[in-house]
Chains A and B, each alone.
Chain A
Amino acid sequence: MGRSVAERDREKPPVALTEYADLHGCSCKLGQSDLVGLLEKTGLNTDRDELVFGVGEDAAARKVTDDLAIVSTIDYFTPIIDDPYEYGRVAVTNAASDAYAKGATEQLSFMVVLGVPKEITEYAINILSGIVDAVADMEGVVVGGHTVINPWPLAGAAVNAVATPESLVTTREASPGNVLYLTKPLGTQPAMGALRVKDGEFGDQVQEATDRDIEAIGADALKWMETPNRDAAKAFESAPVTASTDITGFGLRGQSKQVANNSGVGLEITHIPVVGGTAPLSKMFGYGLLDGDSAETSGGLLMAVESDGAADLEAELEARDVFYREVGRVVPGEGVTIDDPTIEEI
């Protein structure tokens, strides 16, 4: 990772960014049922003729010509980690993920959203440096942005990408028999929660709850949050992927529910990969990780693929060195079933 600007700023004392917000990362999203109600009451939940797809998907797509669609999305959130540079990286990697989840992987333009409490405006440079470096790693361009003073730090971006309309993937075409894949292990919420309390009165208890070092668990979770879903999305073109979404604040269950509802099917989750050491932390904190209820930040893609194309998808993901696990099946019916899944520590 390039840390040039952050390194130049090392003379500044460390800042604990998470202490400036009550909700952290993707868990600051409005609740799923509240959001659905809001969209219904404002009439935004209906299909629009101008769009290939819109509200209800991770991103919107508008057809410009027969072979060109503009894919748009916005995502920003509060600090998930204390370090401003890493926060910037995670936030913009997460923002891009909504475009990737729809299969839009090229020519990403980022309008940065940045909010900084007035007491710590000198750290804006660190957050922005993380954003700039992560965007460069994704071969995107920062084209502008908007920066405000705000009681809680905020970082993220509005993202535009281009794609051929036929290459885009929604959450609406999953069908029974499809195989489900997940491209990152879960567990960012308990991993980051443990980091927030490791130095306080509960530090010893929390460390004793898990057999891995809390710092090592946090470092692993950070690595996953900073891993773009771009390579995973590029694999779409090699296999009959019928539905895709990224796992964020609504957790595995919430995002699965979105696919199930939009496709008119049921999703059966039978296997959950988790960051090693996060399962006992989740149990201690009441986060519901093993039930798919734990909020994730900058999580992986959940993809449904036709069963006869599953081998092709796996081969493509392996060729691109993308982590993946088969996590379940699409079944007839409705809703999401997560009943005593096998848990794999990564």
Chain B
Amino acid sequence: MESMNQEIDVTGEICPRPALIVRDNLEEMEPGESLLVTADYPPARDNIERTCQKHGYETAEAESGDGDLFTLRIVVPDEAKGPVMDS
């Protein structure tokens, strides 16, 4: 079965909101699915990547846009079960 992809746009959001919005979205997703995050707040890139890596999610830059705009692809790991972004 093909994995589902979701997209969210957090442009205009400043920290810590981008990481919190990403976290909420990932909690609703199933293993193997991927989330495409578009953002434009430079510190959010490190923060999203760091919080994902700490919780076993893979991140990769999907696209670098104009100015501060960037897009990250986050893949929900197969071993993820339940509330995977528990802090």
Contact = CB atoms under 8 A, between A and B. Distances in A.
Contacts of B52: 286
Given A205-B20, A209-B87, A280-B87, A286 B14 contact: no
A302 B14 CA distance: 30
A197 interface: yes
B43 A196 contact: no
A293 interface: yes
B87 A22 contact: no
Interface string B15-57: 1110110011000000000000000010100111111101000
Contacts of B48: 286
B14 A284 contact: no
A273 interface: no
Interface string A3-31: 00000000000000000001100010000
B16 A196 contact: yes
**Binding site secondary structure of chain B:** helix
A287 B87 contact: no
A288 interface: yes
A115 interface: no
Interface in A260-298: 280-281, 283-288, 293
A23 to B, nearest CB: 7
B16 A283 contact: no
B20 A197 contact: yes
A23 B54 contact: no
Contact of B87 (A27, A284, A293): A284
Given A280-B87, A286-B48, A23 B43 contact: yes
B19 to A, nearest CB: 5
Nearest to B18: A286
B50 A288 contact: yes
Contacts of B20: 197, 202, 205-206, 284-285
Contacts of B15: 193, 285
B11 to A, nearest CB: 12
Given A194-B16, A286-B52, A288-B50, 19 more contacts: A23-B14, A190-B16, A202-B20, A205-B20, A283-B51, A284-B20, A284-B23, A284-B51, A284-B87, A285-B15, A285-B16, A285-B20, A285-B51, A286-B19, A286-B54, A287-B47, A287-B50, A288-B46, A293-B50
